[in-house]
A and B are shown apart, each in its own frame.
Chain A
């Protein structure tokens, strides 16, 4: 498939798949709590409703920033996801590497934070400061883990080269070497915080600060924020499944020929990852406090990521 076509088709695909993922997550969550749960297409209903609600901008808000930030957030996360997905879809070299995807993800959450802060609500201010400290906690291990890919066996950061490297070795990257395994583990540990779900949903704790920076957003703005969150959650899981656990690589060269099959395998793997890193923790844990979360991230994931970079430099 042509790279440009793949890139354009991946926009709607990203939206649909990530919203479906959210629906599946909610359904499983409900089933684990002995409830029936909403239908799987519930997020679509929510979005349709939210887009057709009244726009309210609080008087305390600085209007422009408040309005534009959810759009930037949604655009950034969709762009990040599409870059990732179109690389899997086309099998050809596409512009953009892992660092760009990470940057877009971070930008999406920063945009939401700034927009919330512009609303002038004190809860949003608390949410902002909490999210800021959480980002310091989880972004550093995540970036180190991603960079260790460049130092490790693939020695590249472009997504399609990483995929091709996995195909050439006929092994998923996480299995191929010790350093990559610990990098993958770091990323998996960071996903709950990046997706801000319990136990790390500190910035938008419902019972403490009522969704933090999302508190004043309603109607279409909230819909955009929801899209941004759903898509960035999906991007995170897809990132791990494409870069570290590219199961189709076991098929060898055929993975590049039967792109449909390899894509669906990738999506299935990322669904599994979402189940393990988002649904399960949010069902079985209580929310941590900011200090405890910080301590956790600067102990285990940071150590793991540094280990991975050291191992990859010495070539293990």
Chain B
């Protein structure tokens, strides 16, 4: 019994340590699927000195293999559709997807275009939507932190 309890507590502690590590170091891969650049520059602005996402341990990585969080901007265009799926598959588990901007969340002004394959959640599962055109960097920071906390904890 005691041993069993001990094991259980060990396990839960391990689990807590792991989830702490995951929450504290979300590495971000940013994919532009036909955005107008507005969201993209706001994401980069979130890494710039005023908002500094790195204080939460976030890093902007260049390879999906290193990433935990996928930030998708833009209403998925036809040419970017296979690439979006491929990038999503290349990110190792566990991962979260954050749709940044109204285009990515609902397709907004581009809805109805022949070239747009609809909002992101039609193609891959999305965990957090950050609405705004473009969302402020604070909102993006909040979105990333919320996504990581809700999924990795």
| A contact set with B: CB distance below 8 Å | 30, 33-39, 42, 44-49, 52-56, 206-207, 210-211, 214-219, 222
Chain B contacts of A39 at CB under 8 A?
A: 24, 55, 57
- Choose among B55, B57, B65, B92 the residue that contacts A35 (Cβ–Cβ < 8 A): B55
Q: Smallest CB–CB gap between A46 and chain B, Å?
A: 5
B25 near A45 with CB under 8 A, answer yes
Tally chain B residues at the interface, Cβ within 8 Å.
22
A47 partner residues in chain B, CB cutoff 8 A: 21
Give chain B nearest CB distance to A122 CB in angstroms: 13
Q: Using Cβ atoms and an 8 Å threshold, which residues of chain B touch A218?
A: 63, 65-66, 92
Which residues of chain B in 7-35 are interfacial with respect to chain A, using CB atoms and an 8 Å cutoff? 17-18, 20-22, 24-25
Query: Is the contact region of chain B dominated by helix, strand, or loop, or is it mixed?
Result: helix
CB of A35 within 8 A of CB of B66, answer no
Render B40-69 as a binary contact track against A, CB cut-off 8 A, 1 for contact: 000000000100101111000011011010
List the interface of chain B (C-beta within 8 A of A).
Answer: 17-18, 20-22, 24-25, 49, 52, 54-57, 62-63, 65-66, 68, 90, 92-94
Shortest CB distance A172–B (Å):
37
Alpha-carbon gap, A206 to B54, bound state (A)? 17
CB–CB A46/B57 < 8 A: yes
B49 lies within 8 A of A35 (CB): yes
- Is B21 in contact with A49, judged by CB distance below 8 angstroms? yes
In the assembled complex, the CB of B137 is this many whole angstroms from the nearest CB of chain A, namely 13
List of B residues within 8 angstroms of A207 by Cβ: 62
Closest CB of chain A to B91's CB: distance in Å? 8
Which partner residue on chain B sits nearest A210 by CB separation? B62
Residues of chain A with a CB closer than 8 A to B57's CB: 38-39, 42, 45-46
Q: Which residues of B contact A52 (CB under 8 A)?
A: 18, 21-22
Return chain A residues, CB-CB under 8 Å to B49. 33-35
| B residues in contact with A211, CB < 8 Å | 62-63, 66
- B52 contacts across to A, CB distance below 8 A: 30, 35-37
- Docked Cα-Cα span, A39 to B62, in Å, equals 22
A53 and B20 contacting across the interface, CB-CB below 8 Å: no
Q: In the bound complex, how far is the Cα of B24 from the Cα of A44, in angstroms?
A: 10
